[in-house]
């Protein structure tokens, strides 16, 4: 929610020791990864959709079992007399932080975020815009999360905050205003076992078609923040064009609503209008941003309007997804780029008991606007369970079932029981997402000696045949292969440093993600093992994946494997020696991850 200034401290204090005792009594297993998968950040759900283990923001909010066992935390929230949306405990590990960002989603247009520190340290700092504060344990704060904000915890202890979202009642905002007045008496709220608890939670959900009045409100507010970096004729022209796009969209939306209302028969017409504007926004809005937080205009438009303006299609997909048969025990190969995953994939795909998408299927994910680079929360190829929704899942599964082919390249019947095998390099960074999509899928982690692998990555960059992105904001020149989180730090780095970064990021994230998945659903295989002991290795992997061997696969693995379709130069264990000086210089950068692999494998 946009506020008049960065921070507000409410004139109210809570019993820190009581809160700490209740938090300490919660089981360790209750803590989950942060919804945005921020390193060093974990969360524990207190109020969620249906009271379940989810981070959704659209649905009937209810207290979780964790909150119900915390009598004082219930009193703390109940005492404000407001209606709560998603609420959690957020834990920040020692020597970690929350990177700078702004909250731009539709959810945040109407809601403020209350912070009550439970465990903290004087050196922990919360930054918002140009201001910073230390929030004392037991205090209550809100802040303007439309502005850029971040948190730093530079000490050896963790930080735990109670974080709750609300639009706030009139009395709540009066309390906020009282905190600004001099000599306001601070209220002390201690635990009172006799005090009744009346916990109010949101029960509203998005309408199938957003009403024109709300579309007007969201867009007009966005237009009030819209600006260009300068006033050149070209920038002025783009600014005018983007304003026209926004104005045209809201007017045409009102016309459709006047004609059809929220009738489901008109959803395709609404979707056509939305998708037309969605496609035009990045081009027309290039270089335009929000005045307060400098977030790209088309990114805010996507997060605030396009993703929620037609939720009826998502509702329909949610009802449909249960009727779509997800391929049982799908097999997903995950590996750093240039690790030999294509060779392994092509070998398994030769089996008549297997179906695939015919090769690497970047389109399966990247054809979905919400998952494309630059969409809200998508700053790299990393996808987590937080990016998953039932509507997205329904779209992916439907596309997958329609495009599957067997080992001969023929289309596969929708009811086929062939084992589905997928290999796209970027999926190394998407295990949590696919684990949510395919709850019983199997993962094969293929790894390769980092010296050989980094050399192959360097060859790929030099060849220019594996360019994946041009004109990344924050990196000079084209980018090749997968894009891990933190890629901006590679600007100006040497090719061997980039190769080491890609190898380490992919393998480290794979290892971290697999730790949260039952071991019977993942296995590891070394590239050297695949090459030197092919037959027993493939038989082991087929047994793991419950894939029945056929004559075609048996014949293929009875002799040396052919080169894969993406081979740059013929493989050789010593090929990396020609770049030995450069590669040896960066091996210390990957040593800890390499050791983790060796210890497991």
Residue 227 has pLDDT above 60, yes or no: yes
Q: Do 155 and 230 have their domain in common? A: no
Average pLDDT over residues 156-177: 97
Q: Do 96 and 15 have their domain in common? A: yes
- What total of structural domains would you count in the chain? 3
Q: Do 172 and 38 have their domain in common? A: yes
> Does residue 37 or residue 27 have the better pLDDT?
27
Q: Do 353 and 305 have their domain in common? A: no
Domain boundary among the residues 139, 172, 201 is at 201
Dihedral (CA of 52, 58, 59, 62) sign: positive
366 located within any domain: yes
Q: Do 191 and 228 have their domain in common? A: no
Which residue segment(s) compose the domain that 341 sits in? 327-600
**What separation in angstroms does the CA of 303 have from each of 63, 133, 274, 307, 345?**
27, 28, 13, 6, 36
Q: Do 232 and 145 have their domain in common? A: no
Residue 536 has pLDDT above 60, yes or no: yes
Burial profile 36-68: b = 16 or more Cβ within 10 angstroms, e = fewer: bbbeebbbbbbbbbebeebbbbbbebbbbebbe
344 located within any domain: yes
Q: Do 128 and 263 have their domain in common? A: no
207 located within any domain: no
pTM of the model: 0.61
Domain boundary among the residues 287, 320, 353 is at 320
Residue 429 contacts residue 482 (beta carbons within 8 Å): yes
Average pLDDT over residues 4-31: 96
Residues 6 or more apart whose Cβ sits within 8 Å of residue 553: 347, 348, 350, 351, 538, 542
206 located within any domain: no
The CA-CA-CA angle for residues 441, 445, 451, to 5°, reads: 165
Give CA–CA dist 56/562, Å, rounded: 47
Q: What is the pLDDT of residue 568?
A: 56
Quote the percentage of the chain above a pLDDT of 70. Answer: 95
Dihedral (CA of 36, 40, 41, 43) sign: positive
Cβ burial of 592 (10 Å; 0-12, 13-18, 19+) is: exposed
Average pLDDT over residues 515-530: 91
Phi, psi for 178 (deg, rounded to 5): -65, -30
Give CA–CA dist 65/53, Å, rounded: 10
Residue 396 has pLDDT above 90, yes or no: no
Residue 339 contacts residue 453 (beta carbons within 8 Å): yes
Structure tokens at 522: 């993942």
Q: Do 295 and 312 have their domain in common? A: yes
352 located within any domain: yes
Out of 313-327, 373-387, 482-496, the most confident range is 482-496
Q: What is the pLDDT of residue 566?
A: 54
Tokens 């090769």 — which residue? Answer: 359
Q: Do 190 and 219 have their domain in common? A: no
Give CA–CA dist 474/215, Å, rounded: 33
Average pLDDT over residues 427-450: 93
Give CA–CA dist 348/355, Å, rounded: 9
Average pLDDT over residues 570-589: 85
CATH number at residue 378: 3.40.50.300
Residue 58 has pLDDT above 70, yes or no: yes
| pLDDT band (50, 70, 90) for residue 574 | confident
Q: Do 247 and 347 have their domain in common? A: no
Mean of pLDDT over the chain: 90
Q: What is the pLDDT of residue 10?
A: 97
Give CA–CA dist 240/248, Å, rounded: 12
Residue 25 has pLDDT above 70, yes or no: yes
Phi, psi for 233 (deg, rounded to 5): -55, -40
Out of 13-22, 315-324, 464-473, the most confident range is 13-22
Q: What is the pLDDT of residue 321?
A: 47
CATH number at residue 32: 2.60.120.330
Domain boundary among the residues 320, 339, 360 is at 320
**What separation in angstroms does the CA of 544 have from each of 330, 385, 444, 519, 548?**
12, 25, 9, 11, 10
Q: Do 331 and 315 have their domain in common? A: no
Residue 115 contacts residue 55 (beta carbons within 8 Å): no
351 located within any domain: yes
Q: Do 194 and 244 have their domain in common? A: no
| pLDDT band (50, 70, 90) for residue 563 | low
pLDDT tens track for 260-291: 998 888 888 998 999 899 989 988 998 999 99
308 located within any domain: yes
2 located within any domain: no
Average pLDDT over residues 369-374: 86
Residue 172 contacts residue 83 (beta carbons within 8 Å): no
Q: What is the pLDDT of residue 11?
A: 97
Q: What is the pLDDT of residue 97?
A: 93
State the SS3 of 558-574.
Answer: CCCCCCCCCCCCCCCCC
Give the CA count within 13 Å in the CB-facing half-sphere of 22. Answer: 22
Q: What is the pLDDT of residue 478?
A: 92
**CB-CB neighbours of 588 under 10 Å:** 9
Give CA–CA dist 62/43, Å, rounded: 17
Residue 117 contacts residue 159 (beta carbons within 8 Å): yes
């Amino acid at each position: 929610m946009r506020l008049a200034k960065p921070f507000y401290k409410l004139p109210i204090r809570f019993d820190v020791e009581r809160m700490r005792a209740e938090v300490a009594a919660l089981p360790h297993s209750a803590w989950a990864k942060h919804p945005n998968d921020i390193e060093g950040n974990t969360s524990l759900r207190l109020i969620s959709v249906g009271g379940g283990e989810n981070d959704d923001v659209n649905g009937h909010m209810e207290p979780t079992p964790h909150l119900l066992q915390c009598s004082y935390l219930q009193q703390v929230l109940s005492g404000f007399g407001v209606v709560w949306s998603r609420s959690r405990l957020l834990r920040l590990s020692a020597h970690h932080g929350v990177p700078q960002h702004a909250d731009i989603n539709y959810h945040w247009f109407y809601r403020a975020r209350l912070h009550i520190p439970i465990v903290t340290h004087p050196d922990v700092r919360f930054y918002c815009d140009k201001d910073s504060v230390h929030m004392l344990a037991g205090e209550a704060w809100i802040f303007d999360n439309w502005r850029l904000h971040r948190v730093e915890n530079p000490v050896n202890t963790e930080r735990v905050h109670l974080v709750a979202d609300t639009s706030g009642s009139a009395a709540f905002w009066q309390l906020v205003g009282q905190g600004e007045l001099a000599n306001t008496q601070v209220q002390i709220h201690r635990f009172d076992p006799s005090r009744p608890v009346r916990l109010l939670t949101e029960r509203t959900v998005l309408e199938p078609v957003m009403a024109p009045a709300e579309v007007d409100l969201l867009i007009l507010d966005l237009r009030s923040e819209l600006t260009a970096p300068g006033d050149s004729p070209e920038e002025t022209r783009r600014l005018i064009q983007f304003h026209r796009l926004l104005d045209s969209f809201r007017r045409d939306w009102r016309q459709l609503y006047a004609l059809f209302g929220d009738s489901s028969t008109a959803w395709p017409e609404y979707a056509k209008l939305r998708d037309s504007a969605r496609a035009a926004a990045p081009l027309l809005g290039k270089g335009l941003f929000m005045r307060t937080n400098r977030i790209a205009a088309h990114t805010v438009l996507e997060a605030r309007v396009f993703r929620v303006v037609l939720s009826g299609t998502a509702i329909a997909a949610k009802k449909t997804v249960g009727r779509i048969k997800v391929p049982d025990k799908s097999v997903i190969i995950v590996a750093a780029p240039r690790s030999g995953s294509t060779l392994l994939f092509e070998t398994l795909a030769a089996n008549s008991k297997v179906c695939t998408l015919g090769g690497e299927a970047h389109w399966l994910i990247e054809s979905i606007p919400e998952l494309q680079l630059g969409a809200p929360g998508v700053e790299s190829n990393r996808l987590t369970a937080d990016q998953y929704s039932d509507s997205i899942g329904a779209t992916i599964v439907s596309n997958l079932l329609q495009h599957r082919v067997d080992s001969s390249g023929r289309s596969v019947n929708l009811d086929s029981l062939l084992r589905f095998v997928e290999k796209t390099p970027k999926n190394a960074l998407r295990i949590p997402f696919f684990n949510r999509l395919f709850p019983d899928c199997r993962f094969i982690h293929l790894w390769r000696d980092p010296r050989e692998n980094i050399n192959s990555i360097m060859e790929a960059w030099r060849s220019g045949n594996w360019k994946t992105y041009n004109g990344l904001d924050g990196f000079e020149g084209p980018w090749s292969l997968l894009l891990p989180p933190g890629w901006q730090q590679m600007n100006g780095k040497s090719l061997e440093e980039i190769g080491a970064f890609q190898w380490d990021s992919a393998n480290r994230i794979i290892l971290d993600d697999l730790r949260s998945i039952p071991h019977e659903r993942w296995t590891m295989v070394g590239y050297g093992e695949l090459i030197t002991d092919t037959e027993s290795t493939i038989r082991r992997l087929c047994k793991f994946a419950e894939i029945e061997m056929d004559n075609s696969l048996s014949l293929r693995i009875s002799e040396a494997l052919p080169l894969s379709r993406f081979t740059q130069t013929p493989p050789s264990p010593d090929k990396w020696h020609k770049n030995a000086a450069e590669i040896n210089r960066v091996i210390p950068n990957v040593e800890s991850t390499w050791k983790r692999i060796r210890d497991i494998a």
